[in-house]
Structure 1
Amino acid sequence: MIGFRLALLLLLVPLAIALNVFGLIVSKTLNRPNTQSEQHGYRGTGMVLLQERKAKTAALAANAIPASVPYAGDEGAKAGTVYENVKVLGNVNVGEFTRLMVSMTKWVAADQGCAACHNTANFADDSLYTKVVARRMLQMVQHVNSDWTKHVGETGVTCYTCHRGQLVPPNVWFSDPGPTQAGGSAQMPAGKNHPSMVAGGSALPLDPFTPYLEQNGEIRVASKTALQTGNPQSIKQAQWTYSLMMSFSKSLGVNCNFCHNTRSFYSWSDSPPQRITAWHGIRMVRDLNSNYLNPLSDKLPANRLGPAAGDAPKVFCATCHNGVSKPLFGVSMVKEFPELREKTQLQSDGR
C-alpha cells in the first residue's frame, strides 16, 4: 500500500506542476488586454475604435519623426546652374537643395549615406539605378502632394513617410500567385484556402492587391441590382473584397467601422467621412502603381523584383500608414520642404 501511494504521489506531483505551468501560460496569453476606446460616430451606433495601450505606445515610438535640418532660405544660385545633371530640382537654390539631399539621406538611406544613390567620385554620374529611381520618386512625391490632396490633405508626404530610413520601404507588395494549385476538379483558382497574412491570417485570397490596387477591379460585396437583372457580383469577388478590407484594417490599425457604419456597409450616406478619403486613397494607389512604380521595372535589378518576371515593388495602404490611421499620426513633414509640393518636369529622357 505504501509503495502504491508513493508511486501515485510521484505521478501526481509532476502533473500538478505541469498544470500550474499550463495555467500560468494560459492566464498570461488570454489576459484581458488593456484597451482604450475612442468614439468616432454618433452615440448608439457602436462606432468605436478600440486600441490596446501597449500597441499604441509601440506605434508612437515607430512613428517618431527625425529632426529636421534647418531651412536654408531661398537665396543663392539655382542648383541646376551650379551642379551638373540636376534633372528634377534644378530650380531650387543651392542651400535648400543641399538641405533636401541631406534630409533624403536620413529618410531613405540612414545606413548607406550618399553612396546609396550616388557615385561619390562623380555625383553627376547616372550609373546607379537607385539614382534613376530616386528622381522618379521625387516626382511621385510632388505628384501626390499636388494632385492627391483629397487623400493626403495639407499634411502631404515625404520620402520618410514610406521609407522610414530604409532604402526599400518596409511595406511593399508583389503579385502573389500562391502555391502551385492542383488541376482538374481540385483546382482553386481564387488563390484561397491558404493562410494569408495579408488577410489577417485567414484563408481568404492571397493577393487582393493585383485586381484592386493595380487594376481597376470594382470593390464590392453587395450588388447594386437584384439577381433577375443580371447581378455581376459573385461570391469569389466578395471573398477578394473581404481580403482587401482586412488588409486595410491591418494597414491602418483600425476596425471596419472606421470607414463604414456597420448598420449598412453599402450605404454611403451613413458612412463617416473617412470612407470618402479612403475612396480617393484607393485611386491614388492605383495611379502610383501604374504610372510611377511599374514603369521602373526595367530599371531595377533582379533582386529588387518579385517572383514574377518584371514585377516591380508596389505600394498599398500600409506603405504610408505603417499601422496607424494617419501616417506619422498626422504630423506634416512636407510643410518644411515646399519644393516637394511643386510638380517638376524631368529633363532629357524623363529618367
Structure 2
Amino acid sequence: MRMMSKLTTIGALAATTVLLAGCEIGPKSSEQTGYRGTGIVQINDRSNATAPGEVPPPPYELPPSSGETAGQAYENVNVLAHVSKEEFDYTMAAITQWIVPADAPAAEAGCNYCHVPENLADDSKYTKVVARRMIQMTQSINQNYSDHVKQTGVTCYTCHRGNAVPKYVWTDPKPGDGRLMGNKRGQNTPVEAVGYTSLPVDTYAKYMRTQSGAARVISKTIHPTTANRSSIKDTEGNYAIMMHLSQSLGVNCTYCHNSRSFAQWEQSSPQRSLAWYGLQMVKNTNEEYIHPLASVFPANRLGPQGDPYKTNCATCHQQQRKPLGGAQMAKDYPALLTLPGAGSAVPSGPMMQTPGAAAPVAAAAGN
C-alpha cells in the first residue's frame, strides 16, 4: 500500500509538472508600485515583455523663425496659422512621417495623403479635414490633461505608429437581432474587447464615450439602497473595463488597487488616480473630437453602427505602462503642445481623493 501510495504521489507530481509546462512559469520580477505593506506589487514576466516601440527622430532640426507665420505664407491654414512658417513645415513633415502608411499608393503617398497635389489649399480630401481636428485634439490633450500625460505629452505618433488608422481602435458593436431566443442582450459573444469571455460586448461604448459612465459598482452599505442600482450586468461591465485597462498597460490589478479593498481610494496607489484622469481624457477625445466626424469619414472608415473608429487605453499604451516607454517625444514639436490662444486648463483635484460624479472633466476645445 505504501509503495502504491508513493507511486500515486509521484504520478500526480509528474502530471502536475506536465500541466504546468504550458503555463507562464518562467522567471518573474516584482516591483513595489504602492505603499509598503499594502501588497501593491507589479509582477513582470520578463520572458513575455512587450517592446516599447521605436521613437522616430524629428524630420530635421527645427530652423529659427524668419518672422513670417504659416497663415501669412500659405493659403487656407487654420489650426496652425499662428506658428512660424518654419515650424509649420517642420510639423507637417513629422506628421507625414507618423501617419502615412508605408504601403500607400503613389497617389496618396507623402503630402498627397491629405492634400490635392495641384492645390495644397484645397479641402476636398476628408483626410485633411480630419487631420485638422486631430491636431486640435492633440493640442487639447497636452494642454488640458497633464494630470494624465504629465510632462511627457502625446503626438500623432503616440497612437498612429506609422498607420493611417491606429492599430487599437473600436466602434459601437452591432446590436442583437431582437428575437427572444436569439438576442444575447449584448453578452456571450467572444470578442477581443472582453478577452473572449461572456462579458458585455459594449464595454467601450459604456465607459469611453459619455461623461456619465463610471466604472463603479461596489455599494458602501451592506443593505440595498436607492444610491446604488448597479445590476449584475453592470458589475460584469465594470470587470470587463478593468480587464481592458490591465491588458492595455500590461499590468496586473495591484498596479492600481490594494487587493484588500479594491474600492478604497485612500488605500490605492497613485496610479489609480492617473488611470481615472486617463479615462476622462479618452471620453473627451471620443465625444468631442472623433465621434462628431462621423459625417466626414467615408463608409469604409466607419463601424457597423455608422460611427468612426475611436480611442481606448490601448490606442496609446499598446501594452506599456507609459506609451513608447515614457519617451518624451512631444517636447520636440511645440506646435502640438497648446491650443491657439490657450484657454483655461482643466482644474486638478487632490490626487488621492475619490473622483466622483462632480470631479473635473475636460471642457470642449474651440476651433
TM-score normalised to the size of structure 2?
0.81
Contact 2:147 / 2:277 at 8 angstroms: preserved in 1?
yes
- Distance in 1, matches of 2:249 and 2:235, equals 21
Moved more, 29-38 or 212-221: 29-38
Describe the SS at the equivalent of 2:193. Answer: coil
For 1:1-351, what aligned pairs fall within 5 Å after superposition?
A: 29-30=22-23, 32-56=25-49, 58-60=50-52, 63-68=53-58, 69-111=60-102, 112-177=109-174, 180=177, 182-183=179-180, 187-189=183-185, 191-215=186-210, 216-230=212-226, 231-309=228-306, 311-344=307-340
Contact 1:212 / 1:219 at 8 angstroms: preserved in 2?
yes
Structure 1: segments with no counterpart, 5+ residues: 1-24
**Residue identity opposite 2:56 in structure 1:** P
**Residue identity opposite 1:255 in structure 2:** N
Contact 1:223 / 1:232 at 8 angstroms: preserved in 2?
no
Measured after TM superposition, the shift of residue 113 of structure 1 is: 1.5
Measured after TM superposition, the shift of residue 45 of structure 1 is: 3.1
- Distance in 2, matches of 1:140 and 1:64, equals 23
Contact 2:34 / 2:268 at 8 angstroms: preserved in 1?
no
- Distance in 2, matches of 1:181 and 1:195, equals 19
Contact 1:142 / 1:342 at 8 angstroms: preserved in 2?
yes
**Residue identity opposite 1:322 in structure 2:** Q
Measured after TM superposition, the shift of residue 35 of structure 1 is: 2.8
**1:126-175 Cα distance to aligned partner (Å, 9 max, x none):** 11000000000001111111111111111111000000011111111001
Measured after TM superposition, the shift of residue 224 of structure 1 is: 3.2
User: What is the alpha-carbon root mean square deviation over aligned residues?
Assistant: 2.3
Measured after TM superposition, the shift of residue 181 of structure 1 is: 6.1
TM-score normalised to the size of structure 1?
0.85
Name which one, 1 or 2, has greater alpha-carbon Rg.
1
Measured after TM superposition, the shift of residue 223 of structure 1 is: 1.4
- Distance in 2, matches of 1:180 and 1:224, equals 37
Measured after TM superposition, the shift of residue 27 of structure 1 is: 8.0
Percent identity of paired positions between Structure 1 and Structure 2: 44
**Residue identity opposite 1:94 in structure 2:** K
Structure 2: segments with no counterpart, 5+ residues: 1-17, 103-108, 342-365
Measured after TM superposition, the shift of residue 32 of structure 1 is: 2.1
**Residue identity opposite 2:28 in structure 1:** T
Contact 1:139 / 1:344 at 8 angstroms: preserved in 2?
no
